[in-house]
Structure 1
């Protein structure tokens, strides 16, 4: 089947998909023109090819899809000995048009992005956002020869990059960087006192790899810049010891499907006796908060499920990837409570100096586009939150993977036995098996059980995530059994027969890679991503999920009453109503998470407006004489006196220093106030008030007062300042900035904020059958 026929068949298949809105026919029509131009470019020398690329970049309208794609294809042929497929050029055109492209695993998204990045380079800086530091460096170095043939520079940034290295990388035409590193650099740039200390340039175009993960799953995650503060008393340790002695279902109760915990009457009396205080007295509210945090850490957070302990540190596990979430912390004292529970020295939270969500950070760019293997299911969300459309690119070769119906069991024990039996049977033939689990603990337990059955396997989880690429690359080898938590090796191809494909024919004859999911995830996209590890570029492969009606997804979101079908000899339930109920549970989970995202965005939108207005004012203070003009107007006598004594340039420097100090300090206080306001605002619903309206009613005047407060503090400081001479330093007046700063990502409270608990309560409507109906 030719590409045109294949494309039309694929389009017909997707016509009814609401997330697909981009008509690929106009781009399809350009492919013959690209091929003609490619033939002309193939006659050029390397220097002449660079000159042709430079000529494109110097045009008034450099976005010529035909020229950009032809140049990219020719450069890839010469530099990598790879000629991009037509489907990759379709993907590059979609990116150049400013959309999100869905391409299956193994279809060559890295090269597709490089062609688009080269096309965008004439319009300003291009950032290619990756999911981790490893991929940022790998992809930049891999594509470097292509860019150099197109007369473009490329750099990369990772966690260990110095400020000088970051500045140099961002000065390149194209920069590969993880979303957290790029965001952290923006936060650090936002508090500089000298413009030369900044590392970022303008935010031009961003091409986002794994766009669904970054734009949707991580959208509401706050990136945080904190500064050192005076050490607080180590109260979490003592309280953790008290809470660890409490008994579940006697001293405390876990409710709301494991999202909330509270003390019983006897538990409250026991804690108050040991602390020798009344927890509900107004003067002991801090102690009450500390006890609640310790209780949540003890009862709701599970080691090797929600976090691991490594090198005497608590490291959070990313719920979407099953890997350690680098530099991620829990908010509001919960991190310290977990550290106290594990008897680990507290890492300290410090004072929040600046923060921005991933979603707000990405909207700094003038142009956003992206690519992923699973964009279609979130097409409506991409349109709602980013005004992005989705185009689905047909695979270069037909997908022949067989996705089997779920194997459903009444109990987790029956399901686990069935999983082991299936793996043992597959392994006996030598067929490679990739198993996706939901947690570190589950992956290690499964590995131990398989070892008892004589099956050796490789375990990939948050404890050895640095070996991920190497482990995943060999998952298709003959006789390989790989057990992994959640997302598996994004950016790394699984080749049949192993990374060197030496046993490819042998594995193909066995049916290719067999993928097993030991439970359904809350999101169907995560399931699809696991399935997509098999069947790369027309390879054979199969996938199957094993589900227990005792799984957390079913227990939390499944309909009540849950339908029950008749089980066969091995305990499997083959019943369409049961399968529908499992699908319903996933849909409810996705609906709840979407509503939480929407409401988080509504609150963050106002705070981001505050951040932008504050940043604009701070930029005026940093780069103009605005601070001096303020003081000359509000404190003219003092201003004129010091100008005569020190000279006006020295006074302007002093004015700028004072104003920036108070602008940053006041903003940090505002962030703390808004965090406290938002955490409790949903209690207003009990008074028949709309929480969002109430948040706006209090937050807007608070910000207006902030701007006036910065000016008032600056004037007061200036008037009372004692200056000995022109060598005056801020420390002389106690204007001391943090001696150390660090960055981290705030993970959602696993038990949820008040808002999230409110939405979790809505689940009961769905579970009763009132919210979701079978069609």
Structure 2
């Protein structure tokens, strides 16, 4: 037996021992429940506090029984044994896999309450505002029963509201909001401006989505600054370019390239001698490339919406509008110019952090999802987390049909319409999962022409999602939705109230139809999991064409000979195996991307900790003034008439300004290095080693340059009773901040710039 096989056998044996032990603890909890129900509320809560007085749970069986009795009293929800087992595994820092409809919301609240009773502050991390608000309010009675506080952080809240919310024992919040609050806290100049309070535990809902899928995308905070815009003249000229003649794209349409004929055409139209001259390459050519990327690679209603005169980005992984997010590097302006909208101000990157680095800042991580097993490797490799599979409360009765494969997109689309029409005629509810807004609306329009009324759930109307999803299981309903991961609302047979449950069950339950395979089978399984909840009948069916992105990309350009029938369907087992192979290839690429991304980001994450420590010292002590006094004692003497606190704060603001600026410039420089680092391979150098060498060398001077520049500013800037006037020196902090949506894929040929690898966001 090889070492690798031995390791996995040992891991499996350990997981099995944990599961068996958990089941024994839960069985013990059952025996305690009857006795505990005789206690009044105060006595029950007091007993829970006794069991956790030392920061640990003294008797886990009794503790689970107390949580169960409390849930029954406060929520009218008595947890199943499998839910109590899931709570125990979370408390022991596992990622649990629980099927859709098995009650993860209650499990998360019980575990969060358990952590909080041991004195740990918990961030219960969700994927969107709606779930954070809903779950905090829904579970509040259970948490409050034990004298604990609970809150929700949402995008609409101001700094003071957030500050109060983060002080709660259990804080529900979307992962992006928690991440951006962390970044914004790294821009403050007074400790009192801090928004986040330290937390001990990250309990992550949809853990595979947050910890694996979204870990590839950094959170980037930007500040207002004039940027590079694609002018109207350039946008108009680029709009008239023709594919193949004036520009080409790579096979995956991730990058677009101007041809010689295209360059010549633009030079003539724009009246230039050469696009590539020294005068034009840094300005006009940049604008041309931005406009070309906006024209070719960014598609309205797929990558973005236009609403009320503004461009709104679509978060493809969740099928929702990405609030307060923009594209960087002038790309946002290029898209706005393409759509004939007012071009907004550009920006400068202030700070950034990957979700992976953000999550690793928590002393403890645990999580829950419906599809963790397929992500076991990533969760173990990048977070050191175990996966525990929790049994269903009732056996699965869903039938998962094999994929139906078609030669062309048109054949597939026609078959999907026919299948939905056929199932709808029986009265069975149908849920159709699409990959983007445009596809969902085209499908709804086609079904409407067949006389079928459709409820559409996509980024244009995600505010209505709870109502649409809740009713998707009613008789005769047809619901078309973009990405279902993290929607968070169960689809109950017979509608939200389950009134027609038995009738729908008799018809066969909910039918789920996927219009294409995802790059990860986990996302397919998340969609499948919407049917067959709590032992209900159901069915899933995925449709694939040989033109689909996953097949084309995963096939590596391999030509396959298909012999479709008269309906365009391909039934050859060889082709079916090929389709399965392409998805596995894409999953392997995603794992490799994740591994490479972490290698590139790990050193920057370590450097960030050094900067954070320096920042904290400057905020909390008089170190800034002491260092500047050593550099400029004459200036300190000049300011002797001012209050000591004013001078100290002035020194602090000067030091922090330059530290933040140098860190921002370091990040920008390393991003440029990473964009071109693949060229090192040509010189037979290892790109990642060379990147680390450069990062270490460049970072060595960051703190020193910040102090040097701070000393220069301290000597010359105006300081009076009102403090330091950095604005007068052109050193103002940005008046507004926003977040950037960028790609982070070191395996893309042109690096991870928003322009070069933009397609990585949407595939």
Please state which band the TM-score falls in when normalised by the shorter chain.
over 0.9
CA shift, 1:234, in A, is 4.4
Residue equivalent to 1:357: 354
1:178 counterpart = 2:174: yes
CA shift, 1:53, in A, is 2.5
Which of 180, 184, 191 in structure 1 is aligned with 2:187? Answer: 191
Quote the Cα distance in structure 2 between the aligned partners of 1:228 and 1:50. 50
CA shift, 1:565, in A, is 5.2
Residue equivalent to 1:620: 617
CA shift, 1:648, in A, is 4.2
Residue equivalent to 1:4: none
Structure 2 residues without counterparts, runs of 5 or longer: 1-7, 758-763
Residue equivalent to 1:5: none
Q: Identify if the C-alpha distance between structure 1 residues 67 and 753 changes in structure 2 by more than 3 Å, giving closer, same or farther.
A: farther
Quote the Cα distance in structure 2 between the aligned partners of 1:297 and 1:536. 42
Which of 498, 502, 506 in structure 1 is aligned with 2:503? Answer: 506
Q: Secondary structure at the match of 1:438?
A: coil
Contact 2:432 2:480 in 1 (8 A): yes
Quote the Cα distance in structure 1 between the aligned partners of 2:220 and 2:70. 40
Alignment of 1:620-639 (within 5 A): 620-639=617-636
Contact 1:520 1:527 in 2 (8 A): yes
Residue equivalent to 1:397: 394
Alignment of 1:466-485 (within 5 A): 466-485=463-482
Residue equivalent to 2:46: 51
Q: Secondary structure at the match of 1:754?
A: coil
Residue equivalent to 1:219: 215
Greater displacement, 421-430 / 138-147: 421-430
CA shift, 1:376, in A, is 0.5
Describe the superposition over 1:92-148 as per-residue Cα deviations: whole angstroms up to 9, x where unpaired: 111000010000000000100111101111232111000100000100000011111
TM-score w.r.t. the length of structure 1 is 0.91
Alignment of 1:230-629 (within 5 A): 231-232=226-227, 234-277=229-272, 278-286=274-282, 287-487=284-484, 490-558=487-555, 561-564=558-561, 566-629=563-626
Quote the Cα distance in structure 2 between the aligned partners of 1:195 and 1:171. 15
Moved over 6 A (4+): 14-20
Describe the superposition over 1:43-93 as per-residue Cα deviations: whole angstroms up to 9, x where unpaired: 111111222233234224246432432221111100111110000011111
CA shift, 1:721, in A, is 4.1
Which of 201, 209, 217 in structure 1 is aligned with 2:205? Answer: 209
Quote the Cα distance in structure 2 between the aligned partners of 1:236 and 1:733. 31
Quote the Cα distance in structure 2 between the aligned partners of 1:593 and 1:732. 45
CA shift, 1:526, in A, is 0.9
Q: Identify if the C-alpha distance between structure 1 residues 728 and 117 changes in structure 2 by more than 3 Å, giving closer, same or farther.
A: closer
Which of 670, 682, 685 in structure 2 is aligned with 1:686? Answer: 682
Q: For this pair of structures, how many residues does the alignment match?
A: 743
1:108 counterpart = 2:103: yes
CA shift, 1:638, in A, is 3.3
Quote the Cα distance in structure 1 between the aligned partners of 2:727 and 2:304. 44
Alignment of 1:724-763 (within 5 A): 725-731=720-726, 734=729, 736-748=731-743, 752=748, 754-755=750-751
Contact 1:126 1:207 in 2 (8 A): yes
Greater displacement, 566-575 / 584-593: 566-575
Contact 2:674 2:752 in 1 (8 A): no
Quote the Cα distance in structure 1 between the aligned partners of 2:673 and 2:91. 42
Greater displacement, 186-195 / 91-100: 186-195
CA shift, 1:597, in A, is 1.7
Q: Identify if the C-alpha distance between structure 1 residues 728 and 166 changes in structure 2 by more than 3 Å, giving closer, same or farther.
A: closer
Residue equivalent to 2:75: 80
Structure 1 residues without counterparts, runs of 5 or longer: 1-13, 762-775
Q: Identify if the C-alpha distance between structure 1 residues 722 and 113 changes in structure 2 by more than 3 Å, giving closer, same or farther.
A: closer
Greater displacement, 105-114 / 599-608: 599-608
Describe the superposition over 1:440-482 as per-residue Cα deviations: whole angstroms up to 9, x where unpaired: 2221111111112111111111211111111111111001011
Residue equivalent to 1:146: 142
Q: Secondary structure at the match of 2:519?
A: coil
Contact 1:221 1:745 in 2 (8 A): no
Which of 100, 114, 133 in structure 2 is aligned with 1:137? Answer: 133
TM-score w.r.t. the length of structure 2 is 0.93
